[in-house]
């Protein structure tokens, strides 16, 4: 697998509206802290069907707590999956879908990066991964992988800082990969998107109706 090609194809859109002057943004207060379980289950209800997520609070507590802040304050209600990256090489389907809160006024500050070299998590099919620009800029955009993409894992031995950092995995899809595939297969705009993103924007985007925590799964 061509690691450089994958990294070039995955510029995160977390700061898409960052050109807006920061002083004009409405201050956002953080929600009350809630004890974080090792595993937190979340239901994402989309217009194409439900996706159940299992967030890994044990190995990726920073990314998981950040995601839950948006869930608990209902800032993920009404967001969209707006991107489908389709890679022509490898076993199909190969690529990812990306979604998140694109209204910069409703974003919390960027979070500390949790590289896979520290968490032990991996970019495998069904993995949830934080979108970002530089490490420490991840906010409210995330991806769901359709296939294993180890090129997105951190590689501390690399001479390239981006490759060293990789992207942060913080959970996986517990149920609903068929819905993820429907989103990935949805129509694309041939002209929307800049640079490597051109031709990857869903038209229309797939709407997320609501995102809520699910009851914890009882141990067997």
pLDDT for the residue numbered 34: 61
Residues 6+ apart with CB under 8 A from 47: 206, 207, 208, 209
CATH number of 3-18+83-106+115-203: 2.40.100.10
CA dist 14 and 63 (Å) reads 14
pLDDT for the residue numbered 193: 84
- The residues pairing with 168 across neighbouring beta strands, listed in sequence order, are 130
pLDDT for the residue numbered 176: 98
CA dist 217 and 219 (Å) reads 6
Query: pLDDT tens, position by position, for the chain (220 residues)?
Result: 454 545 444 443 333 322 223 333 344 444 445 678 999 999 999 999 999 999 999 999 999 999 999 999 999 999 999 999 999 988 899 999 999 998 888 999 999 999 999 999 999 999 999 999 999 999 999 999 999 999 999 999 999 999 999 999 999 999 999 999 999 999 999 998 888 888 999 999 999 999 999 987 554 4
pLDDT for the residue numbered 195: 84
pTM for the full model? 0.85
- Half-sphere exposure (Cβ direction) of 33: Cα atoms closer than 13 Å: 4
- Whether the CB-CB separation of 189 and 202 falls below 8 Å is answered with yes
CA distances from 137 to 105, 124, 185 (A): 15, 23, 29
What are the boundaries of each domain within the chain? 3-18+83-106+115-203
- Half-sphere exposure (Cβ direction) of 203: Cα atoms closer than 13 Å: 10
pLDDT for the residue numbered 31: 45
CA dist 56 and 171 (Å) reads 5
CA dist 105 and 35 (Å) reads 26
Q: Which two tokens stand for residue 55?
A: 């967030």
Q: Which of 60, 83, 62 is nearest to 12 (CA)?
A: 83
- Whether the CB-CB separation of 105 and 25 falls below 8 Å is answered with yes
């Amino acid at each position: 697998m061509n690691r450089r090609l994958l990294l070039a194809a995955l510029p995160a859109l977390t700061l898409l509206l960052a050109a807006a002057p920061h002083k004009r943004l409405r201050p956002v207060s953080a929600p009350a802290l809630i004890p974080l379980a090792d595993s937190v289950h979340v239901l994402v209800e989309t217009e194409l069907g439900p996706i159940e997520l299992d967030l890994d609070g044990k190995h990726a507590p920073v990314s998981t707590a950040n995601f839950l802040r948006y869930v608990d304050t209902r800032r993920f209600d009404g967001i969209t999956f707006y991107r489908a990256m389709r890679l022509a090489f490898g076993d199909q389907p190969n690529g990812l879908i990306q979604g998140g809160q694109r209204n910069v006024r409703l974003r919390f500050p960027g979070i500390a990066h949790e590289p896979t070299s520290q968490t032990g998590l991996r970019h495998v099919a069904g993995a949830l991964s934080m979108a970002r620009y530089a490490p420490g800029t991840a906010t409210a955009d995330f991806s769901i992988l359709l296939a294993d993409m180890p090129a997105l894992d951190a590689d501390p031995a690399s001479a390239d800082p981006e490759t060293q950092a990789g992207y942060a995995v913080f959970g996986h899809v517990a149920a609903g990969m068929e819905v993820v595939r429907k989103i990935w297969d949805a129509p694309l705009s041939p002209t929307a998107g800049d640079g490597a993103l051109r031709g990857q924007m869903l038209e229309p985007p797939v709407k997320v109706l609501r995102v809520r925590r699910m009851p914890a799964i009882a141990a067997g």
